[in-house]
Amino acid sequence: MRGVLLTALLAVVSLPRAQAVWLGRLDPKQLLGSWYVLAVASGEKGFAAEKATKNIEGVVVTLTPENNLKVRSSRHRLETCDLSVMELLRQNSGWVFENPSLGVLEYRVLGSNFRDYAIVFTQLELEDEAFSTVELYSRAEWASQAGLSLFTKWSQGLGFLSQQQARLQTDPTCARKAFQ
């Protein structure tokens, strides 16, 4: 598994602005449960200016009977904590999910040990703005060294500049609202 992940990472890192690829197979049941979002890399306009004010976020992933993902999240936005629920539909090719009507063009796990961390890539199109994000999901309120290292490698390999990357502040108040 580690060799496949390293091969995928090297393939992506060697290409500027490469497309995110996952060469392994994801059993979505491994992604189920509660996660803290501890770090984000984003191409969204205004992200660099706002990143210093963002706190840890929460995500709860469940699986529908149709093998779609249901994602409940609490996202820290400026002075508020937005709660949302969305269903992501499984694409025909592998365990890649989408919901274009909600602006989610692609949602996939790039790397994970599923026990401690997951690196999640999302391609979005919201209000005529297309951008991508890479997020570090963690089962705990702190990041493992392995998770942080993999997040940094994927973010840089996908072309995110340092000002487009952020470790989120340690206040988990908003994150815990997704878990309720």
**Residue 132's domain is classified under what CATH number?**
2.40.128.20
CA atoms within 13 A on the CB side of 75: 11
Residue 111 inside a domain? The answer is: yes
Question: Backbone phi, then psi, for 4, in 5-degree steps?
Answer: -65, -45
**71 in a domain, yes or no?**
yes
Q: Which pTM value belongs to this model?
A: 0.84
Which range marks the domain in which residue 172 is found?
A: 2-16+28-179
For residue 22, tell me if it sits in a domain. no
More confident residue, 79 or 113: 113
- The count of structural domains within the chain is 1
**Is residue 121 in some structural domain?**
yes
Say if 23 falls within a structural domain.
Answer: no
pLDDT tens-digit profile of 53-74?
A: 889 999 999 999 988 999 999 9
Query: Which amino acid appears at position 82 of this protein?
Result: D
Rounded to 10 degrees, what is the CA torsion of 38, 35, 62, 132? 10
Report if residue 161 sits inside a domain.
yes
Q: Is residue 60 part of a domain?
A: yes
Give residue-wise pLDDT tens across range 127-156.
Answer: 889 999 999 999 999 999 999 999 999 999
